[in-house]
Amino acid sequence: MIPIHRIRRRQWLGATALGAALSACKQNAPVADEGPRLLGATVRPYGERSEFETAKRLLANDRYLEESQTRTPLGESVGILTPSSLHYERHHSGVPRIDPAQHRLLIHGLVDRPLVFTVEDIRRLPSVSRIYFLECSGNSGSEWGARPAATAQQSHGLASCSEWTGVPLSLLLAEAGIQKSAQWLIAEGADACKMVRSLPVSKGMDDVLVAWGQNGEPLRPEQGYPLRLFVPGWEGNVNVKWLRRIEASDQPAMARDETSKYTDLMPDGTARIFTFIMEAKSLVTYPSGGDKLKPGFCEISGLAWSGRGLIRRVEVSTDAGRTWKDASLQEPRLPRAFTRFRLPWNWDGSEAQLQSRCTDETGYVQPSNQQLTVLRGLASTYHYNGIKAWKVAADGSVTHV
């Protein structure tokens, strides 16, 4: 074997597209290096990113601030984690300012021992940290009926992925002595609208967390500080923020946000209710709407996730779905977390159409827009998980299809 340093650079890179791309990088390098300038005279107690980085959340619905949302810039995402400062938000009555010393969590209803926890009590209990995606069930709803948004952020930005730290809800329910007759848990937030959602006790005893940490620090106020419910793989709205009360009950609350909202109108006029699980979805994030490609090497990259567990496979097409190639999946792959996929591609400068299609561990394959529309009709904006396509024009501009 020849040591790499003895291979002449031209031989090593060869005539590949990657070689051409790297040569182009070399040509673009600055001639003189003046060395780094100091960022500032003092260190910063709480850090910020470089002033040269500009990725930011997109504020939507700003006419109705009490119903506000922000979207994660998925087109600029790297790896699988979303920085807390770029995590998407969805509020139904703004962000309350809560002093953790004043906050309480009540567990009551069909329990042997009703309990009131302080935030300090919760933080003292044995915790776990797990990486999970969180997604609003309205995410990518603009794709229904071929009304696609222009960028990955606009279409799919109501999804993010963080490491969440909290106490297993099963521990708190066992401590309270939850009774056999309890079938539902009714969770209530301390926001002005008193967000209420119901979830089956079986899920609550499985993998639900009462979370107080995100990405290595306490939750951000917009993520439910000081306590939130975290319900892995289930629609964002059930992950009640600013959590203050859990009632064990023999029936669901039938609250506003599980009857008038977050139900799915079907083609026959009926509505599906309590559709909790976010089905498998994937998206090419680079290149995506708004990007401009140069001919030659391009690493196609994107994200896939499933509320039912692991992503097993992601296929990518560059010819509008006529042929597909398996993308490589970044390890470790984690259940109910973003999975980053990558596929090297040599763009020859002709028109192309990029798509991704994922399969989860249950064998479920992400459907096409058409397949989904046949089943679901066009009356609901929730739970859209169809295949997303991006067009690459001959001039390199990338737009929605």
Question: Which residues bind to Co ion, rule: CB under 5 A?
Answer: 137, 235, 275
Nearer to Co ion, 81 or 186 (CB): 186
Q: Which residue is nearest to Co ion (CB)?
A: 275
Cβ neighbours of residue 287 under 8 Å, at least 6 residues apart?
A: 293, 298, 300, 354, 390, 392, 398
* CB of 188 closer than 8 Å to CB of 244: yes
Nearer to Co ion, 275 or 285 (CB): 275
Query: Is the C-alpha dihedral spanning 144, 147, 151, 157 positive or negative?
Result: negative
Query: What's the one-letter identity of residue 160?
Result: S
Token pair belonging to 157: 């930005």
Least distance to Co ion, CB of residue 384, Å: 11
Nearer to Co ion, 275 or 359 (CB): 275
Nearer to Co ion, 82 or 275 (CB): 275
Least distance to Co ion, CB of residue 271, Å: 11
Least distance to Co ion, CB of residue 308, Å: 14
Least distance to Co ion, CB of residue 258, Å: 9
Per-residue HEC secondary structure of 13-38 comes to HCCCHHHHHHHHHHHHCCCCCCCCCC
Nearer to Co ion, 188 or 235 (CB): 235
Nearer to Co ion, 76 or 235 (CB): 235
* CB of 95 closer than 8 Å to CB of 221: yes
Instruction: Give the alpha-carbon dihedral of 11, 12, 17, 21, to 10 degrees.
Output: -110
Least distance to Co ion, CB of residue 238, Å: 8
Ramachandran category for residue 140: left, alpha or beta (phi over 0 → left; psi -120 to 50 → alpha) = left
Q: Which residue has the tokens 């500080």?
A: 225
Nearer to Co ion, 312 or 376 (CB): 376
Least distance to Co ion, CB of residue 275, Å: 3
The span from the CA of 337 to the CA of 361, in Å, is 13
* CB of 13 closer than 8 Å to CB of 297: no
Least distance to Co ion, CB of residue 283, Å: 19
Nearer to Co ion, 137 or 214 (CB): 137
Nearer to Co ion, 378 or 393 (CB): 378
Nearer to Co ion, 137 or 154 (CB): 137
What does the DSSP 8-state code read for residue 237?
A: G
The span from the CA of 386 to the CA of 363, in Å, is 16
The alpha helices in 33-179, defined as continuous H runs, are: 119-124, 152-156, 169-176
The span from the CA of 222 to the CA of 241, in Å, is 8
Would you call 335 helix, strand, or coil by DSSP?
Answer: coil
Pairing of β 209-214 and β 217-218: antiparallel
Least distance to Co ion, CB of residue 274, Å: 7
Least distance to Co ion, CB of residue 190, Å: 23
Least distance to Co ion, CB of residue 383, Å: 6
The answer to whether the peptide bond before residue 100 is cis (omega within 30 degrees of 0) is: no
The span from the CA of 225 to the CA of 98, in Å, is 7
